[in-house]
Structure 1
Amino acid sequence: MSLEKAADTLDNSLNSLEKIKEEIKNCTAMYDKALKDNRKLSEGNSDTLKLAGEFYQRSQKLNQDLQMEEEEQGQRTDDLKKRLSLVKKEESRLKEEEKRMKEEHRQIDQMERQLRQQTEVSAAMPEKKVVFAGNLNTERETFNLESEIVYPMEGGTALITFEDEEAAQNILSMKEHDVPVGDFSITLEAKPVQFIIPSLVEMDTYVCPNRVLVSNLPKNMNEDDESRLLDRLEVHFSKTRNGGGEVESICMLQDSGNVVIAFTKDNVARGLVGREYHEIDVLKKKHKVRVTPFINGEIKDLQVTVSVSSRTVLLTGIPDVTEEDTMQDCLEIHFQKSSSGGGEVDAIVFNPMGQRKLAVFRDDSAARPHTPLNH
């Protein structure tokens, strides 16, 4: 090997060595840089972990706050739902209250109209003085102040009222009775006395717009006087200067002795009622009559019930074998005996065959249904 080659080889080796050194230096620099980068990365990783921990804690707190907020929101929602339910109930109640108030207002308006009508009527009923003049009559009066029941008796029957209910019930339980009449006896049947009476009566009344009721008229008039009175009233109340108008009809109520006048126009009646008292020529002398509204009534509701007299017994099958007074005495004597199942007799009425009598029943003041008072 020549020196030149050796020198070249050595130069090449030195060059290679220099390159290796340079590479080592570069690698060392790179390693240092890598270490430095690694330290920075470690520091960054630590910061990241710290941030991650802080973020986790914050996220946990946020989750808790969110959960609490959701619970509070749910509670508020429930409260709002309850309040809404209460509001709806209150709204429903107020609607019902409004409906009830409207109905009450309507009823009050109706009552107010009726009261106003009654106020306009004033004492609309005609003045009528009543007095008890004596014994009861066989005819039923139309004008009564007390509740009465007229019981039509068939022939061959009797009504007997005992002082005690027990005696009446004993007689009814025995049903058939043998009653001695002189030298013989008769067989009677005892039955309860029943009535169909109204238990509820509702009436609608209203003032007739074209009619008036004239009262306070002269008493004890004959037929001719009544005819002249009607003519005089028609003439007086048909004149406009007297507040009247064209008369459509005029008639006298026989039960009360008052007169009803109907006009062709409605406003005439109102004007006459407002004046109330009118002085007219009746039977050749001045007489003050009273003019009030004429009230019509319609039955709105009628309910009836069966009432049984607790102290009165109906006796049937009584033959015509003796005088009326004798038979009544025999019946009273027999049924007031305790041995016959009876008791003290309060009242008795006998109706012989072929006769018609009306027994008047009135309310028993001792809380007993009805007692026959007369016939």
Structure 2
Amino acid sequence: MSHTQESQNTLDGILNAISKCKVQHNQLLKEQQDLSRARDDQEDLAKQFRQRIVKLRISLEEDDNNQARDVDSERKKIAALHDEESRLKREIQRAEEELQLEEESTHHLKQQTNVSTAAVPEKKVVFTGVTGDGANTLNFDVKPHIVFPMEEGTALITFEDEEVAQKILSLREHKVDLGEDCAITLEAKLVQLLVPCQVEMDTEVCSRRILVSNLPKKVREDLLLDKLEIHFAKSKNGGGEVEDSDMLHDSGNVVITFTENNIAKGLTDKQYHNVEFEKGRKHSVKVTPFLNGDITSFQTRLSACGRTVLLTGIPAVKEQENLQDLLEIHFQKTSNGGGEVDTFLYNPLGQHTLALFEEDCPTEDQSQ
């Protein structure tokens, strides 16, 4: 009995021990789970810190880069300011030099303008009874002479009436009957020329030349030049050694060139000089300064010829004079859209012709 009791006691002890071990095991499992959760939390926290460290490092690098860029930008700005300062100093220096040149030029122009307003070539004028609009008056009247190279197989026809020319242009193609069952088709084109619209010149009084005007009309040119050279070569007449003399045929005046620079001014200051062209007879001539000119600005524009039409595509089917007459007759007929022809110029195949265009001056019944 005691042995059974002892065994029972031993079994209960073992069960108790097992229960205690289970409790301890459960506690250990719980502690292990708690430790595992704590470990995971620590790892998450460490991961967050590592990510934060990476972000902070990137942010610091960006800040460093931005700071470096800002410093570089400021340095560039400072360098640009230094360059701008240097440029402005150069501009100031250049402006001062230009100002000095302008002052010298102004002084030179003032000297040029000291030439008497009366110092212009002598020219006979007369009122013809024609009046004009003062609002359109220009300081200089330029009359262009434009050379127009004609292509082969073309013709230029100028009508008296601009409306006729415009009608011919509007019809464009024209069939011209040349007789003997022969006809040709021509094309009418607008004539456009490049004409000057504004010319600017710098003028300067020449120190070695004079312009002599109011010359006698009945003296031969060679004798006239000889007499002028002889007169103005004498020191008693205020002259000096003459290098050359030239007749300006468009104005009838003479240009005399001296070898020295100090002769011309004294002669132009006196203006009027009595020159002996015939023995015992003297003629009063006017001496004015000779102006040298340089073109500083030349502007052009396209100008359409209102009364002139270009005819193209003309074959060499007849003799030049015969074909020109037939073409002119065709365009004179109102039934062909034509009218009165002012001029007609034909350039056949194989030839080269230069047409000269001049200003179409308006009349009372016709505007330019």
When the two structures are superposed, what TM-score results if normalisation uses the length of structure 1?
0.54
Q: Does 1:305 align with 2:301?
A: yes
SS of 1:266's equivalent in the other structure is coil
- 1:283-298 to structure 2, matched below 5 A, reads 283-288=278-283, 289-298=285-294
Q: 1:302, CA displacement in angstroms?
A: 0.5
Alpha carbons of structure 1 residues 111 and 294: separation in structure 2 relative to 1, 3 Å: closer
Q: Does the Cα contact within 8 Å between 1:310 and 1:368 map onto a contact in 2?
A: no
Question: Where does residue 204 of structure 2 map in the other structure?
Answer: 206
Q: 1:323, CA displacement in angstroms?
A: 6.3
Alpha carbons of structure 1 residues 291 and 163: separation in structure 2 relative to 1, 3 Å: closer
SS of 1:363's equivalent in the other structure is coil
RMSD: 4.1
Q: Does the Cα contact within 8 Å between 1:200 and 1:301 map onto a contact in 2?
A: yes
Identity over aligned residues, as a percent? 46
- 1:130-149 to structure 2, matched below 5 A, reads 147-149=143-145
Task: Measure the CA separation in 1 of the matches of 2:162 and 2:250.
Answer: 38
SS of 1:147's equivalent in the other structure is coil
Question: Where does residue 229 of structure 2 map in the other structure?
Answer: 234
Q: Does 1:125 align with 2:121?
A: yes
Question: Where does residue 178 of structure 2 map in the other structure?
Answer: 181
SS of 1:314's equivalent in the other structure is strand
- Aligned residue type for 1:160: I
> How many residues were matched structurally?
251
Alpha carbons of structure 1 residues 131 and 287: separation in structure 2 relative to 1, 3 Å: farther
SS of 1:171's equivalent in the other structure is helix
Which has more radius of gyration?
A: 1
Q: 1:284, CA displacement in angstroms?
A: 3.0
Alpha carbons of structure 1 residues 163 and 250: separation in structure 2 relative to 1, 3 Å: closer
Alpha carbons of structure 1 residues 194 and 130: separation in structure 2 relative to 1, 3 Å: farther
Structure 2 regions of 5+ residues with no counterpart?
A: 1-98, 129-139
- Aligned residue type for 1:361: E
- 1:292-371 to structure 2, matched below 5 A, reads 292-318=288-314, 319=316, 321-322=318-319, 324=321, 327-337=323-333, 340=336, 342-351=337-346, 353=348, 354=351, 356=353, 358-363=355-360, 365=362
Moved more, 108-117 or 270-279: 108-117
- 1:1-375 to structure 2, matched below 5 A, reads 113-119=111-117, 122-127=118-123, 147-152=143-148, 154=150, 156-162=153-159, 167-183=164-180, 184-222=182-220, 226=222, 228-288=223-283, 289-318=285-314, 319=316, 321-322=318-319, 324=321, 327-337=323-333, 340=336, 342-351=337-346, 353=348, 354=351, 356=353, 358-363=355-360, 365=362
Q: 1:180, CA displacement in angstroms?
A: 0.9
Task: Measure the CA separation in 1 of the matches of 2:357 and 2:126.
Answer: 19
Q: Does the Cα contact within 8 Å between 2:121 and 2:212 map onto a contact in 1?
A: no
When the two structures are superposed, what TM-score results if normalisation uses the length of structure 2?
0.55
SS of 1:294's equivalent in the other structure is strand
Q: Does the Cα contact within 8 Å between 2:158 and 2:344 map onto a contact in 1?
A: no
Alpha carbons of structure 1 residues 280 and 149: separation in structure 2 relative to 1, 3 Å: closer
- Aligned residue type for 2:297: D
Alpha carbons of structure 1 residues 214 and 149: separation in structure 2 relative to 1, 3 Å: closer
Q: Does the Cα contact within 8 Å between 1:328 and 1:348 map onto a contact in 2?
A: no
Structure 1 regions of 5+ residues with no counterpart?
A: 1-101, 133-143, 371-375
Task: Measure the CA separation in 1 of the matches of 2:236 and 2:293.
Answer: 32
